[in-house]
Chain A
């Protein structure tokens, strides 16, 4: 059986970026870097995507859009914040209309720093994101198995320690990888 990281489909949303990061994201898909080597497809449809790439910070106008795209994506899914703006607001951090980084709207899995983010950095962040994607997929299938067992035996399934840990993490909205990334970014 193959892992979801073998075919990560991407949706890219430009929140309030200066377009610097967008160009870098697109250049990662062009002949020079060719992300499709790894099975990456830029879908443009949240229902098909596994990875949500956001460039630019969150403002009062686009927060609902980001949340809606995130909600339309199906599990397992991963969010990658590309560039300083998406991580923390970047050069726009104290603007009157800016709320902050993407993590103000949705849980972010990987932070890729840089202004603008370089395609090689982006690929690096991607690989980190794919590890998380695989973990989430494994968690999903183990949850499904637990559910089946509880349905067949009538006993409520005990969540695995891994799942509990993940839940805690998602509540804190910070995974170890993220912490590492934020440190690097700082």
Chain B
């Protein structure tokens, strides 16, 4: 128990540092690749780091002082969630902590009482509602296949999780779009200007609070890519390379979809997500029980 806690603490600190660097790099590549897909040159890869440092230096102002507290809590919880996952500890705990972090983010959006961010917060709740069941089904399948909730045990298995859990993997790929707020499902925030909700949850955040919200997105991206990579790990050392490549391919797919599909209504988002969750989970349960 003691060692687990120490491990999670070290994991969180390392995740806070490495997640920042990797997340920023991934975001930079995302913007660059998106620009190339649109026929533009795009900003430098370091651009997201410049954005963050600028935001931290801007004047502080918020309509409600508690906004900053909420957003800080959200960021810290997300870092701990990543720490739990990358330290190889409990997957279920990681999922719950990351949801809790999103709830704090929603509180931050609601705290300003502006109609734009309130609507953004409501839509964020719908997004949580869409992706949450899939995450728990993934954890259940994980437990059935591996026999434990500890992430570290995947690296002791003779075969990767994908062999028995490919249906939930497909579901997770779909959910990833919602969780990372990529285009068909970017209901709660939007990167481009002149949208019907301005920037949704981010509308009333400014300066350091906005910087923290951006950082949250980086950490979320790294965590989601970690969950994708987890499916490909096993006892063989080469599997680490396969896992990283798989995460990169999944992420590229996300960017491609982000740039090619228009936003859907929330009704379609929920029905698609739940439909896919139900299908992939049932198929996976049958598949696992037959073997």
Contact = CB atoms under 8 A, between A and B. Distances in A.
Contact of A31 (B38, B44, B198, B205): B38
B42 A44 contact: no
Interface stretch (B54-62, B226-234, B252-260): B54-62
A149 interface: no
B42 A36 contact: yes
B201 to A, nearest CB: 12
A56 to B, nearest CB: 17
A45 B58 CA distance: 15
Contact of B203 (A30, A34, A45): A45
A122 B253 CA distance: 36
A47 B41 contact: no
B50 A31 contact: no
B43 A45 contact: no
Contacts of B54: 2, 4, 6-7, 50
B35 A141 contact: no
B195 interface: yes
Given A36-B40, A74-B59, A45 B198 contact: yes
Contacts of A141: 57
B49 interface: yes
Contact of A44 (B35, B51, B198, B210): B198
A44 B194 CA distance: 6
Given A2-B49, A7-B51, A34-B35, A39 B43 contact: yes
A39 B206 contact: no
A140 B56 CA distance: 13
Given A36-B35, A45-B203, A31 B57 contact: no
Interface in A1-58: 1-2, 4, 6-7, 12, 30-31, 34, 36-39, 41-45, 47-48, 50
Given A45-B199, A47-B204, A74-B207, A37 B50 contact: no
Interface in A46-92: 47-48, 50, 74-76
Nearest to A12: B193
Interface in B26-69: 31, 35, 38-44, 47, 49-51, 53-54, 57-59, 61
Nearest to A47: B206
A37 B42 contact: yes
A163 interface: no
Interface string A129-146: 000000001001100000
A75 B59 contact: yes
Contacts of B59: 74-76, 140
Contacts of A42: 192-194
A41 B198 CA distance: 14
Contact of B199 (A1, A30, A44, A75): A44
A6 B207 contact: no
A37 B51 CA distance: 13
B58 A75 contact: yes
Contact of A74 (B31, B47, B58): B58
Given A36-B42, A36-B43, A48 B199 contact: yes
A12 B194 CA distance: 10
A7 B59 CA distance: 15
14 contacts: A2-B54, A7-B47, A7-B51, A31-B39, A34-B35, A36-B42, A44-B193, A44-B198, A45-B198, A45-B199, A74-B61, A76-B58, A140-B59, A141-B57
Given A36-B35, A37-B40, A47-B204, 8 more contacts: A4-B57, A7-B51, A31-B40, A34-B35, A34-B40, A39-B43, A44-B198, A45-B199
Closest A-B pairs by Cβ, 8 of them:
A44-B193, A47-B206, A6-B50, A74-B59, A31-B39, A34-B40, A75-B59, A42-B193
